[in-house]
Chains A and B, each alone.
Chain A
């Protein structure tokens, strides 16, 4: 219990630190916030804003206050009333925008993660069992490509092949399973390769352990040795990597969503950064950080479940 409190406190602190960092970094970017927002909303990008418009806009959103005051009033509102502010561009509460966009991102990231785990782990096991045979070598070469190719490039290639040439799936869109195929594939490729590599290594190490030999000596069938004796032991490093991959997946989702016009928070975040829509950026970062921390918390819990020697005190 004490551990959970400690962990929760630590997570809260991390969230706070990330929000603070985002806030101040956003204000370090050159170009006045008020001017950029005005250009994006009222007057168009080519026009320049008048002095009067700038003053009016700044005073409406307290943009002339010192930064720390702006930040603390944002934190106060967020913590006390759950109000993360109002978008400068959309004129809607940030909570509402997130609620609109978050499900799509969770869907895409979740599908990619599931794909990465299922494919990565099973190919990793297969590769380990086929150690140094042809199929193992081929798989290892493919994973080398998988970890080396950037996701956005893979996405473009996939669109080129499967949408434009073969016309199997639509280029973009949202709602159907077939819309999800390409973005999920592009997003998960890197994770599949990473998970597969670590599964193979970890599995090979486990298979060389004495308790595997003893399990063979007991006369157990191969599938039981793999599933009962090897897998649980080999999974510890794998779920660590899965935890880290969630981070890169959420980060990757920002770009991939933009490419496939996926209506998630990734697209929202990119647009908001260029429009200097600060409250929305804060909200998106907050959502991503929270998801990441929750996955890591889950991974920690899984450790104790997998290995009885691990105890948190």
Chain B
């Protein structure tokens, strides 16, 4: 995936979108709808659309409840930057919240720092499973950035077959 983006030929940005929204839980569904609309021109399969929406939902929920500790303040903002490199989607969800001190532990399936909130601890595992690539960067008290990649339109093999 990264090779496609770093390649001069295939790594050309073909579309871009940036949005910033308040870190409140109502915006989890907004973020899903926005990403779905953004990739619609690529003719994603139902499965792909669902995968991307789930991964974005997990990342935004993490920003809202962990990054900004579920405060629901309109002052706190989540950023979603999306780029297309042909049929490869790059989506980056960034918060300026509390950050993660131990990323490795946070990414372990079933680990949750907030068991009292009934979190399943599956957020990062789902992002990893549903996207082709996942990069997490975080700094305590500075914030967290989750970058994910996915190739959209897996039906393209039919064309290349001919």
A binds B: no
